[in-house]
Amino acid sequence: MRLASLDGVPVARAEGERGPWRSLAGLVGSRGGSGPGLDAVIESWAQLGPTIVAELDDQTPVEAAGVWGPPLSRPGKIVGAPVNYLDHGAEMAMTHTVEELGFFLKAPSSVIGPGGSVVLPDPTVRTDQEAELAVVISRRARRVSPELALSHVLGYTCLLDITQRGSQERSMRKSYDTFTPMGPWITTTDEIPDPGVLSLRCWVDGLLRQDATTADLIVGVPELVARISAVMTLEPGDVIATGTPAGVGPLAPGQRVAVEIQGLGRLEVDVTGAGQ
């Protein structure tokens, strides 16, 4: 199944490209107007998920022509894995990887959706695109084993971990407003049984910058969930940014960034400077 936010309404589509997008408003207690968004649906996935799966085909079809929001507009937390591909470590001349570095937090307020604009606060400071596979948590995870980790995962989406270069803390350089584009939808784990075999590509102004496979992750998704949950409880709606492969590079106002991950669609955003 694919889960998305369309004009602020949670919508879903059955497996793959089969059938139309359908509104979940009738299943989640919304009676028009501003019902619960997709964030609330995901936070209550343990209760709502089985009903949504069973009754999706009976819900009202919707035109996929509105404004797509991020699948999560305010994740509880965004946990990032630094240097989780060896080739990216090499291009950044990093002598340590995720194995020694652990992980970092990104501000949830940095999320934007498909078609949004990444705003560079200071275009004279190098700011890079980092295309990443993102993991969305469905069920509370605390000290889970790698073997059980994927049973706590709802699905996956495309994410851009926009990053200012510099000597400041990662959590600051990556947390400017608009620095975490996500979407266009979440593909659930029934369609992606193994997140370690997905092709990932990223273009800036149509030029291919990143072309990789998640098979090259140093610490794969199950082990990442296990390691993070050994430190902090993961809650439904939390997001893990799994790290970026080689090919990061500076962004400039006026550019357009696109990410495609196998089975997860295409996320596109543009880049502007502050005050534009």
The residues binding Mn ion (CB under 5 A) are 130, 161, 244
Q: CB of 150 within 8 A of CB of 234?
A: no
CA 258 to chain CA centroid, Å, is 13
The DSSP symbol for 161 reads -
Decide whether 27 or 79 has the Cβ nearer to Mn ion: 79
Buried b (16+ CB within 10 A) or exposed e, 166-179: eeeebeebbbbebb
Q: In angstroms, give the least distance from the CB of 241 to Mn ion.
A: 6
Decide whether 101 or 150 has the Cβ nearer to Mn ion: 101
* Token pair in block for residue 40: 């609330």
Decide whether 2 or 106 has the Cβ nearer to Mn ion: 106
Partners of residue 161 on adjacent β-strands:
none
Q: CB of 134 within 8 A of CB of 242?
A: yes
Q: In angstroms, give the least distance from the CB of 248 to Mn ion.
A: 8
Read off φ and ψ for residue 42, nearest 5 degrees: -70, -40
Decide whether 43 or 128 has the Cβ nearer to Mn ion: 128
Q: In angstroms, give the least distance from the CB of 16 to Mn ion.
A: 29
Listed residue (182, 212, 219) closest to 84, CA to CA = 219
Q: Cα–Cα distance between 129 and 250 in angstroms, integer?
A: 7
Decide whether 80 or 184 has the Cβ nearer to Mn ion: 80
Read off φ and ψ for residue 49, nearest 5 degrees: -55, -50
Q: Cα–Cα distance between 32 and 22 in angstroms, integer?
A: 15
Q: Cα–Cα distance between 27 and 60 in angstroms, integer?
A: 10
Decide whether 11 or 72 has the Cβ nearer to Mn ion: 72
Decide whether 14 or 107 has the Cβ nearer to Mn ion: 107
Listed residue (201, 74, 75) closest to 133, CA to CA = 201
If you count DSSP H runs as helices and E runs as strands, how many of each does the chain have, helices first? 7, 18
